[in-house]
Amino acid sequence: MTPTPLLQEVDPDVLTQHGVNSVFHYSPLHYLSFVARHQQLLSKPALMKIGFKEHHFRSTSHKQDVKRGFAEYVHLTLDSHPPILKAKLAAGFPHFELEIPSTAIECGEFHLCRFNIAKTRYFRGAKQEPAESPENGRYYDGKLIPIARTYEERLALFSENINRNMIEVLVPNGLELPNSTIVTLYHAEDLDIAEQIQQALGIQWQLRLMNLGSVYMRNPRYAQQVHDFVSRALDDANWTGSGLEFDRV
């Protein structure tokens, strides 16, 4: 496991060259305790190496990521508050968003993909197979969806798709999270849970409350499950979860 290093002077890459100063990752709120304890985002194989079981992963995306060849990545997005996050919040599921400086991505290896890896209907072997092109990237290592790996490929894909299509940012293996990471919560009680995690684990990330109004229909029963989950995770550093997944509720 070789997470992206935290501090390293590097030349600007495609993101910062084009004024993209942050990338985003969103997740169910109860996972924040694990992310904060390790101060990393880790790929699925990397998480399993440190003891997390398959039930830790979202069933709706895990199988597709594995099938399509993208399990070894941390998945990030250029879009803050994308539709899928708003859909989870609208269903009452407490979530958080990480805002990470693009420089933390660019100091290590990263790839770009213009397709929603878990949701797209078009992949290699399907009736409509995306062609290799500057806009789409290339097929690598048996992956069923093309990506951009080299600087030239990243630049072409970014230029062709920015402000037109979603772009996923893919970091192999893992990403260390700098102290400048921002954690956004969407309800005052969710912020209380995040502050509990911050105080217990001594993280220095900025916590931010954002009111999305009627977008977030916080469900008290789900919120209590999160509270109980986090309390146990903070009490036992070796606990790797109970398989809590709101998509199964």
Mean pLDDT is lowest, of 66-80, 175-189, 217-231, for 66-80
Q: Give which of 6, 14, 68 is closest to 41, Cα–Cα.
A: 6
Residue 69: per-residue pLDDT:
82
Residue 117: per-residue pLDDT:
86
Mean pLDDT of 109-113: 97
Are the CB atoms for 24 and 98 separated by under 8 Å? yes
Mean pLDDT of 173-178: 97
pLDDT value at 2 more than 70: no
pTM for this predicted structure: 0.89
pLDDT tens digits, one per residue of 8-37 = 556 789 999 999 999 999 999 999 999 999
User: In which band, very low, low, confident or very high, does the pLDDT at 58 lie, cut at 50, 70 and 90?
Assistant: low
Residue 130: per-residue pLDDT:
93
Residues of the chain with pLDDT > 90, as a percent, come to: 72
Q: Give which of 191, 226, 233 is closest to 209, Cα–Cα.
A: 191
Residue 66: per-residue pLDDT:
76
Residue ranges per structural domain of the chain: 14-238
List all residues 6 or more positions away from 95 whose beta carbon is below 8 Å from its beta carbon. 26, 27, 28, 29, 85, 88, 89, 186
Residues of the chain with pLDDT > 70, as a percent, come to: 89
pLDDT value at 61 more than 60: no
Residue 72: per-residue pLDDT:
94
DSSP-derived letter for residue 3 is P
Are the CB atoms for 108 and 169 separated by under 8 Å? no
pLDDT value at 170 more than 90: yes
